Amino acid sequence: MSFSETQNRWNGFLKKIEDRFKEVLEKTEAALPLLFEATDFETTTFNNAWQGIYSQASDLIYKIDDVWYEKVGETFEDAGIEFNSNQFIQERNKGFYTKFDLEQKLKSYEVKIFAEAAKMLVKKVKDTLSEDFCCTQCQAKLPVKDNFFRSYYSTCEYCQTVNTFEPGTKARNVEHFAIHALGEEAALEHYLQYEQLKFQNYLEDREVNGKDHLTMQYRKYVEAYLKKRIEIIPDYGDRYEKDLEAKIALVTNY
């Protein structure tokens, strides 16, 4: 096979992967919110469905490396392109670029799909928490917090009875599911930029962007993530510094 034939097939293969990836994720973007609504905002089913789709999309991405290392690189060499020559590296990098681009898109889709579901859940919970809740003893109306999603004591100001307010499973899922998704959405731009810097290092096989630069970018991501969480649950403000330090340590210590 000649160089141009090999190149055409390689370009065609990459295009097919991109098209298939786009098709799967676009359908998912439309279908998952419907599933979430149909299961009455059940987060485990939603997570499991996403895991299945994520796995399909990841398999498509990994195919790029597999096909290059198993077939394409060798076919280029057979076509007279010297291993590690500029032309060889240029063709190999096409695969790297496509793979990285799809990884970034997969992350973006993931964040967007989860954030949409999170917004639906938060709206549903806020509607529920804005209903009237009455003291179990005297039926007087009790104030209910709309930004605290665990159970707490609420004393009736008329009869002094201590009531325990249980916000319910959906409200608890705001803390377990929604705030992470919304934090990720708020910080996505910084995360993608962080991955971009790491990719530059990988592509050039040297530290184009040093550790300090990477940490600084990662810090922007964590700050945006944590600030969004505090916006939804103000109580998290008390442990902001501690959370920030712990999350940054994940990348600086390992």
Partner 1 sequence: MEENNNEKPKKEKNILDDILANATASTKKYEETNAGLETKKCNGCGAARPDDTDLQYCDFCGNQFY
Q: Residues interacting with partner 1, by CB under 8 A?
A: 23-24, 27-28, 31, 35, 39-40, 42, 44-46, 48-49, 51-53, 56, 128-129, 131, 133-137, 142, 154-155, 159-171
Q: How far is the CB of 178 from partner 1 (least distance, A)?
A: 16
Residue 163, number of CB atoms within 10 A of its CB? 17
- Cα(148)–Cα(62) distance, integer angstroms: 42
Residues with Cβ within 8 Å of 110's Cβ and at least 6 positions away in sequence, in order, are 50, 54
Q: How far is the CB of 7 from partner 1 (least distance, A)?
A: 28
Q: How far is the CB of 19 from partner 1 (least distance, A)?
A: 12
Cβ closest to partner 1, residue 141 vs residue 239: 141
Cβ closest to partner 1, residue 29 vs residue 223: 29
Cβ closest to partner 1, residue 93 vs residue 160: 160
Q: Tokens 């089913």 label which residue? A: 45
Q: How far is the CB of 159 from partner 1 (least distance, A)?
A: 8
Helices (H), 86-129: 86-129
Q: How far is the CB of 135 from partner 1 (least distance, A)?
A: 7
- Cα(54)–Cα(128) distance, integer angstroms: 32
- Cα(85)–Cα(81) distance, integer angstroms: 7
Q: What are phi and psi of 162, to 5 degrees?
A: -85, 115
Cβ closest to partner 1, residue 53 vs residue 72: 53
Cβ closest to partner 1, residue 41 vs residue 221: 41
- Cα(52)–Cα(4) distance, integer angstroms: 37
Cβ closest to partner 1, residue 20 vs residue 227: 20
Q: How far is the CB of 35 from partner 1 (least distance, A)?
A: 6
Q: How far is the CB of 52 from partner 1 (least distance, A)?
A: 4
Cβ closest to partner 1, residue 29 vs residue 101: 29
Residues with Cβ within 8 Å of 48's Cβ and at least 6 positions away in sequence, in order, are none
* 142: three-class secondary structure by DSSP: strand
| Angle, CA of 222, 223 and 229, to the nearest 5° | 90
For residues 98 and 65, the answer to whether their CB atoms sit within 8 Å is: no
Within 13 Å of residue 186, how many CA atoms lie on the same side as its CB?
A: 20
